[in-house]
Amino acid sequence: MTEIYISTDIEADGPIPGPHNMLSIGCAAFGPQRNLLDTFSANLTEMPDTTMDPDTKKFWDKFPEAYAETRKNMVHPEVGMRLLEKWLKTLPGKPVFVAYPAGFDFTFVMWYLYTFIGYSPFSHAALDMKTYGMCLMGKEYRRSTKRNMPKKWWLKKLPHTHVALDDAIEQGYLFMGMLQEREKQNDPNS
């Protein structure tokens, strides 16, 4: 079955799920021809007995418009996760979670999926773009940041807005450029 890469970005009010909330999720599905197939986004209500992390509040204070976007048209987290599950099932292949960094975004998404629907449609298929970039560039992990990635990988130059769906699309196109680079590296004629 074809793999569909689900570039995912979340916005949160703290570093870990449970005591903190996933405020927003954005997903951009990319097909085998590196084409954007579809998108999904949801803003989620906060759960009871949670707080905003003080350091995360300082971050959001710098981006008040982006934070305001996370508070529009909110749905309960269970509704959001059921909508995500339903959307993933409409895609023409097996979903692979892709994020930058996957360690952050996947932690929240997995916690919310298991908490509210009891399983993950991704299983444990999560790909970290920074690690992938490290391998392609032959650099140490901490030097494999977006600013050190080759410009040719950015198939579309889109702004990083801290709005989940915008950033999922931006990072999805970057990942498509990374896949293109891998194919060139593996091509014996290049």
pTM above 0.75, yes or no: yes
CATH number of the domain that residue 144 is part of: 3.30.420.10
Query: Amino acid identity, residue 128?
Result: D
Give the separation between CA 141 and CA 61, rounded to whole angstroms: 29
Model pLDDT, residue 189: 76
Q: pLDDT tens for residues 93-114?
A: 999 999 999 999 999 999 999 9
Domain hosting residue 123, numbered range: 3-186
Give the separation between CA 21 and CA 185, rounded to whole angstroms: 40
Query: Residues 6 or more apart from 183 whose CB is under 8 A from it?
Result: none
Q: pLDDT tens for residues 124-163?
A: 999 999 999 999 999 999 999 999 999 999 999 899 999 9
Q: pLDDT tens for residues 11-70?
A: 999 999 999 999 999 999 999 889 999 999 999 999 999 999 999 999 999 999 999 999
Give the separation between CA 88 and CA 186, rounded to whole angstroms: 30
Work out how many domains the chain is built from and give that number.
Answer: 1
1 pLDDT more than 80: no
Query: Amino acid identity, residue 52?
Result: M
Give the separation between CA 79 and CA 89, rounded to whole angstroms: 15
